[in-house]
Structure 1
Amino acid sequence: MREIILNKLKEIEKEYHIKILYAVESGSRAWGFPSEDSDYDVRFIYIHKSQWYLSIDPQGIGAKRDVIEVPINDLLDISGWEITKALRLFRKSNPPLLEWLRSNIVYDQQYSFIDNVRSLEKEVFYPNASLYHYLNMAKNNYREYLQGSEVKIKKYFYVLRPVLACKWIENNETVPPIDFQELLNEIISDGPLKTEIQQLLQRKMAGEELNMEPRIESINEYLDKEIKHIETYCKNLNVKVDDSTQKLDELFRSTLQEVWD
Structure 2
Amino acid sequence: MNQMEKLICSKLHEIEKENNVKILLAVESGSRAWGFASPDSDYDVRFIYVRPKEDYLRLENVRDVIELPIDDVLDINGWDLQKTLRLLYKSNPTLFEWFSSPIVYLETDFADRFRKIMGEYFSTKKSLYHYISMAEGNYREYLKTEMVRAKKYFYVLRPVLTCRWILERGTPPPMLFRELMESELPKELVPEVEKLLDLKMNSPEIKEIPRVDKINEYLNESIEEIKFKLKSVGENKEVQWEELNKVFLEEID
Q: TM-score, normalised by structure 2?
A: 0.95
**Quick one: distance in 1 between partners of 2:157 and 2:206?**
16
| 1:39 aligned residue | 42
Residue 195 of structure 1 aligns with an amino acid whose one-letter code is P
1:10 and 2:6 matched: no
Decide whether the 8 Å contact of 1:204 with 1:210 is kept in 2.
no
1:191-210 equivalences under 5 Å are 191=188, 193-207=189-203
User: Alpha-carbon deviations, 1:195-231, whole Å to 9, x = none?
Assistant: 1001110121112566333211110111011000110
Gaps of 5+ in 1: none
| 2:166 aligned residue | 169
| 1:19 aligned residue | 22
Kindly tell me: are residues 208 and 74 of structure 1, through their superposed partners in 2, closer, same or farther at Cα, counting changes over 3 Å? closer
**Quick one: distance in 2 between partners of 1:184 and 1:122?**
23
Gaps of 5+ in 2: none
Give the SS at the match of 1:22.
Answer: strand
| 2:154 aligned residue | 157
Worse-superposed segment, 206-215 or 1-10: 206-215
| 1:66 aligned residue | 64
Decide whether the 8 Å contact of 1:165 with 1:176 is kept in 2.
yes
Q: TM-score, normalised by structure 1?
A: 0.92
Worse-superposed segment, 47-56 or 95-104: 47-56
**Quick one: distance in 2 between partners of 1:152 and 1:220?**
13
Decide whether the 8 Å contact of 1:123 with 1:244 is kept in 2.
no
**Quick one: distance in 1 between partners of 2:44 and 2:209?**
28
| 2:229 aligned residue | 233
Decide whether the 8 Å contact of 2:124 with 2:236 is kept in 1.
no
Q: Tell me the CA shift for residue 96 of structure 1.
A: 1.1
Aligned length: 250
Give the SS at the match of 2:105.
Answer: strand
Aligned-residue Cα RMSD (Å) equals: 1.3
User: Alpha-carbon deviations, 1:12-54, whole Å to 9, x = none?
Assistant: 1111111000000011111111100000010000001111112
Residue 177 of structure 2 aligns with an amino acid whose one-letter code is F
Runs of 4 or more above 3 Å deviation: 208-212
Q: 2:84 aligns with which of 86, 89, 96?
A: 86
Kindly tell me: are residues 99 and 109 of structure 1, through their superposed partners in 2, closer, same or farther at Cα, counting changes over 3 Å? same
Decide whether the 8 Å contact of 1:26 with 1:100 is kept in 2.
yes
Give the SS at the match of 2:70.
Answer: coil
| 1:49 aligned residue | 52
Worse-superposed segment, 142-151 or 157-166: 142-151
Q: Tell me the CA shift for residue 164 of structure 1.
A: 0.4
1:253 and 2:246 matched: no
**Quick one: distance in 2 between partners of 1:65 and 1:71?**
16
Decide whether the 8 Å contact of 2:40 with 2:204 is kept in 1.
no
Q: 1:148 aligns with which of 142, 145, 149?
A: 145
Give the SS at the match of 1:65.
Answer: coil
Q: Tell me the CA shift for residue 254 of structure 1.
A: 1.0
Residue 142 of structure 1 aligns with an amino acid whose one-letter code is Y
